[in-house]
Amino acid sequence: MHNISSHSFDQTTPEQPAHEALPANQIKDIPPRALTIAEEIDQLTDPSFMTSLARGLAVVKAFSDQRRAMTIAQISHKTGIPRAAVRRCLYTLKQLGYADSEANNFFLTPKILTLGYSYLSSTPLTIAAQPCLNQVSRMLNESCSLAVLDDTEVLYVSRSATSRVMSVSLNAGSRLPAYCTSLGRVMLAAMSEDELQAYFAKVSLRAFTDRTLVSEEALREVLIGVRQNGYAVVEEELEIGLSSIAVPVRGASGATVAALNIGAQSARVNRAKLEQNFLPALLNAASELSVLLP
């Protein structure tokens, strides 16, 4: 499962601060670095919070399509979790059958899928979505996806792919940043001001292409347009050559609970075609799904 993390792991240590050579009057202008996963976990001081479980889940999430097998040192570097703790997490996962190893490389086993299957098999939205997505995909001959917002990322819960439009493979369980995807912007646009403030305080905005919006001010302006229009279009912000359009999927209360999108190659599909040809089909599909939600 591909996971583009919202965390930045390009960190400096206390012994080598990034602003060491800068004049004192410029240090205040340096934005604070993003916390590591381990630092975020350590900040939670609730006595009921189980740090060891949080670390184990972070170790599981460290694996991706690009790093299907990793060493203890690599996982420790990616998450910020001490090597000794990573070793205990991997030992436990291996004993339970969720991970295995070969030499010094650890990898997840198919059993790990059981952790997410309960959600996918019990949620009305995911149960009803696949036939709907298949129909849209056949009609437009493009890939169609359904996703929910999970923290700062979109989590794919259902997908019907006609071809591979990205350099990475997307499937149920894949994650992408919310701020530079049409799926994410639809769901961000539905947030309250307090929720948006919390989101921007947490997310690390970085450019994936030279067209990626990484300014909070610019993104807020775009989100205003998404609210007004009822859909989001993103052109080559996540990956060059990829464009997408997304619409909200609402529950009975009218609240946005998910987003539905079409992704296509920019060379074949421009913004006008996304809006004129693809948008009506997406709106119809979202309406059908909304009827099935509580």
Q: List, as one string, the DSSP characters of 142-200.
A: SEEEEEEEETTEEEEEEEE-SS--SSS---TT-EEESTTSHHHHHHHHTS-HHHHHHHH
In this structure, what token pair is assigned to residue 42?
Answer: 């350590």
90 and 132 inside one domain: no
- For the segment 242-255, the average pLDDT, to the nearest whole number, is 90
Residue ending a domain, among 112, 145, 170, is 112
- 69: three-class secondary structure by DSSP: strand
169 and 252 inside one domain: yes
pLDDT > 70 in the chain, percent: 81
- 70: three-class secondary structure by DSSP: strand
127 and 196 inside one domain: yes
Residue 1 lies inside a defined structural domain of this protein:
no
Beta bridge partner(s), residue 245: 233, 262
- For the segment 120-147, the average pLDDT, to the nearest whole number, is 81
Is pLDDT at 73 greater than 50 in this prediction? yes
In this structure, what token pair is assigned to residue 262?
Answer: 């079409």
Decide if 160 contacts 130 (C-beta within 8 A).
yes
105 and 193 inside one domain: no
Residue 11 lies inside a defined structural domain of this protein:
no
Residue 117 lies inside a defined structural domain of this protein:
no
131 and 28 inside one domain: no
Confidence of residue 51 (pLDDT cuts 50, 70, 90): confident
Task: Quote the pTM value.
Answer: 0.65
72 and 139 inside one domain: no
Greater confidence (23 vs 152) lies with 152
Residue 18 lies inside a defined structural domain of this protein:
no
Residue 8 lies inside a defined structural domain of this protein:
no
Smallest CA-to-CA distance from 81 within 174, 7, 6 is with 7
Residue 51 lies inside a defined structural domain of this protein:
yes
CA distance 195 to 199: 6
Residue 139 lies inside a defined structural domain of this protein:
yes
Beta bridge partner(s), residue 265: 242
132 and 66 inside one domain: no
Residue 229 lies inside a defined structural domain of this protein:
yes
Residue ending a domain, among 112, 144, 178, is 112
Q: Of all helices (H) and strands (E), which one includes residue 27?
A: helix 24-27
- Pairing of the two strands 242-250 and 69-70: unpaired
Residue ending a domain, among 79, 112, 145, is 112
Question: Which residues span the domain enclosing 35?
Answer: 24-112
Is pLDDT at 38 greater than 90 in this prediction? no
Q: Of all helices (H) and strands (E), which one includes residue 140?
A: helix 124-140
Is pLDDT at 11 greater than 50 in this prediction? no
The radius of gyration computed from the CA coordinates of the chain, to the nearest angstrom, equals 20
pLDDT tens-place string over residues 145-172: 999 998 899 988 888 877 655 556 677 7
C-beta pairs of 280-286 under 8 Å, 24+ apart in sequence: 281/136, 281/139, 281/140, 282/136, 282/231, 282/245, 282/246, 282/247, 283/230, 283/231, 283/247, 285/132, 285/133, 285/135, 285/136, 285/144, 285/260, 286/247, 286/248, 286/249, 286/250, 286/260
CATH of the domain at 96: 1.10.10.10
135 and 157 inside one domain: yes
Is pLDDT at 207 greater than 70 in this prediction? yes
- For the segment 273-286, the average pLDDT, to the nearest whole number, is 94
DSSP 131: H
Greater confidence (293 vs 129) lies with 129
The count of structural domains within the chain is 2
Q: Average pLDDT of the chain?
A: 83
CA distance 169 to 15: 39
56 and 133 inside one domain: no
60 and 88 inside one domain: yes
55, 68, 72, 94, 203 from 88: Cα distances, Å: 10, 19, 10, 10, 29
DSSP 111: G
C-beta pairs of 46-53 under 8 Å, 24+ apart in sequence: 52/85, 52/88, 52/89
CATH of the domain at 198: 3.30.450.40
130, 204, 242 from 168: Cα distances, Å: 21, 21, 12
Decide if 89 contacts 55 (C-beta within 8 A).
yes
149 and 205 inside one domain: yes
57 and 139 inside one domain: no
